[in-house]
């Protein structure tokens, strides 16, 4: 009897201790975690953040409560500063494009090498394979905890002037490009006149006609009704695709219990899968309904023949070679090998 009472007492003490440990651990938790994103819902990118936040709240019984900050508002709209701010703790977590973090993590330029990835199978061969693992190790070394991949998408060329079928058609055209010098190099090689600006500045620049064109995934065209700001021509050249990466600040990550870390990680993986399906909707079906929808807006949609596409590949090849060295020939070779071996 006495023995049983002691056992019971021990069990109760152990439970109390475990409870106290959890309580102590959780007293470090913030009331709210700030998640940075460039695009908010209803874009697939924004949905990635929304789904992740919802799953985390549910699976941690509300212990981890996340608020979305779209428009990279935590860094005043300057998306190229997002990764540094994340590292410093101004941002707790983010779903970010590889393009926007490439100024700090040069290996992320891999996905922006012109015409490296010919199709979605090639994107998957990289993100789901050895290259994805190496990229995550690099992000980790750069000071953030990477958890899962999502997708912004294949970036198609739009403009207000004319149908573009060849590099000659692009000559002198003012094209807004994102914040990595690789994009300026690519458009310079094509004879265009690239101007680098944030997404926040790009929208008024398109409306006022300060720039003639831009490049972004097609869902953005329909969500923002880009034809209403004069973007009447689309060329689906599929020259680059930017993955999204779900990340958490290192100190924030370390402050969570292992069980909550696991919940946050699994939620990112699940949200990533759901979001990739959203990002590809209308583009993976044989008749590409999203392109039909865009054409239905009175927009000229130009698809390139293999020979026409080749002219763009050739013109940008020196840029590819130059940046291959910057990114690391080893990583690029691995990517080329995995793409060649992909299942179509």
Binding string, residues 298-327; x marks residues near ligand X2X by CB under 6 A: ------------------------------
Q: How far is CA 57 from the centre of its chain?
A: 22
Query: What's phi and psi for 214, nearest 5 deg?
Result: -160, 175
Closer to ligand X2X at the Cβ: 60 or 152? 152
Closer to ligand X2X at the Cβ: 242 or 260? 242
Residues numbered 123-162 forming contacts with ligand X2X, rule: CB under 6 A: 152
Q: Which stretch binds ligand X2X (CB under 6 A): 94-102, 143-151, 221-229, 286-294?
A: 94-102
| Secondary structure of residue 256 in the 3-state scheme | coil
Q: In whole angstroms, give the CA distance from residue 186 to residue 116.
A: 13
Q: Which stretch binds ligand X2X (CB under 6 A): 51-59, 95-103, 135-143, 301-309?
A: 95-103
Closer to ligand X2X at the Cβ: 178 or 189? 178
Residue closest to 170 by CA, chosen among 316, 290, 307, 322: 316
Q: How far is CA 278 from the centre of its chain?
A: 13
Closer to ligand X2X at the Cβ: 133 or 225? 225
187 interacts with ligand X2X by CB under 6 A: no
Residues numbered 196-215 forming contacts with ligand X2X, rule: CB under 6 A: 199
Q: In whole angstroms, give the CA distance from residue 297 to residue 292.
A: 9
Residues numbered 52-81 forming contacts with ligand X2X, rule: CB under 6 A: 79
Closer to ligand X2X at the Cβ: 212 or 260? 212
Among 108, 116, 178, 315, binds ligand X2X (CB under 6 A): 178
Q: In whole angstroms, give the CA distance from residue 89 to residue 82.
A: 11
Closer to ligand X2X at the Cβ: 97 or 158? 97
Residue of closest CB approach to ligand X2X: 199
Give the number of residues in contact with ligand X2X, rule: CB under 6 A.
11
248 interacts with ligand X2X by CB under 6 A: no
99 interacts with ligand X2X by CB under 6 A: yes
In whole angstroms, the minimum distance from the beta carbon of 58 to ligand X2X comes to: 28
Q: Which two tokens stand for residue 331?
A: 């990583």
Provide CB contacts within 8 A for 81, sequence distance 6+.
72, 75
Q: In whole angstroms, give the CA distance from residue 234 to residue 159.
A: 7
Among 36, 60, 80, 100, binds ligand X2X (CB under 6 A): 100
b/e map 103-122, b = 16+ CB within 10 Å: bbbbbbbbbbbbbbbeebeb
Q: Which two tokens stand for residue 267?
A: 């939620």
Closer to ligand X2X at the Cβ: 136 or 199? 199
Q: In whole angstroms, give the CA distance from residue 174 to residue 167.
A: 13
Binding string, residues 264-283; x marks residues near ligand X2X by CB under 6 A: --------------------
240 interacts with ligand X2X by CB under 6 A: no
249 interacts with ligand X2X by CB under 6 A: no
Distant-in-sequence contacts of 171-174, Cβ < 8 A, 24+ apart: 173/212, 173/213, 174/210, 174/211, 174/212, 174/213
Check if the beta carbon of residue 72 is closer than 8 Å to that of residue 36: yes
97 interacts with ligand X2X by CB under 6 A: yes
Residues of the shown chain interacting with ligand X2X in the complex, contacts defined by CB under 6 A: 38-39, 79, 97, 99-100, 152, 178, 199, 216, 242
């Amino acid at each position: 009897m006495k023995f049983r009472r002691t056992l019971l007492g021990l069990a109760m003490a152990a439970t109390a201790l475990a409870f106290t440990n959890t309580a102590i651990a959780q007293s470090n938790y913030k009331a709210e975690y700030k998640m940075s994103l460039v695009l908010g819902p209803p874009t697939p990118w924004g949905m990635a953040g929304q789904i992740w936040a919802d799953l985390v709240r549910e699976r941690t019984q509300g212990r981890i409560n996340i608020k979305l900050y779209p428009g990279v508002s935590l860094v005043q709209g300057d998306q190229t500063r997002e990764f540094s701010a994340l590292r410093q703790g101004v941002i707790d977590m983010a779903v970010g494009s590889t393009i926007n973090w490439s100024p700090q993590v040069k290996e992320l330029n891999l996905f922006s090498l012109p015409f490296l990835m010919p199709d979605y199978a090639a994107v998957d061969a990289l993100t789901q394979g050895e290259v994805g693992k190496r990229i995550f190790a690099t992000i980790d070394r750069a000071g953030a905890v990477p958890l899962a991949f999502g997708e912004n998408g294949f970036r198609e060329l739009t403009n207000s002037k004319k149908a573009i079928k060849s590099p000659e058609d692009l000559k002198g055209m003012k094209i807004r490009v994102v914040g990595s010098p690789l994009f300026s190099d690519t458009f310079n090689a094509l004879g265009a006149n690239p101007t680098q600006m944030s997404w926040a500045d790009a929208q008024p620049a398109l409306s006022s006609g300060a720039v003639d064109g831009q490049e972004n995934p097609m869902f953005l065209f329909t969500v923002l009704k880009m034809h209403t700001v004069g973007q009447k021509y689309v060329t689906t050249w599929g020259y680059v695709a930017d993955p999204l990466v779900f990340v958490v600040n290192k100190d924030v990550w370390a402050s969570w219990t292992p069980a909550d870390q696991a919940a946050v990680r699994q939620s990112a993986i699940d949200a990533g899968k759901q979001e990739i399906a959203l990002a590809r909707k209308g583009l993976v079906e044989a008749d590409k309904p999203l392109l039909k929808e865009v054409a239905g807006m009175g927009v000229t949609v130009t698809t390139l023949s293999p020979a026409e596409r080749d002219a763009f590949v050739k013109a940008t090849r020196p840029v590819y070679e130059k940046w291959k060295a910057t990114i690391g020939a080893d990583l690029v070779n691995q990517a080329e090998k995995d793409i060649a071996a992909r299942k179509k």
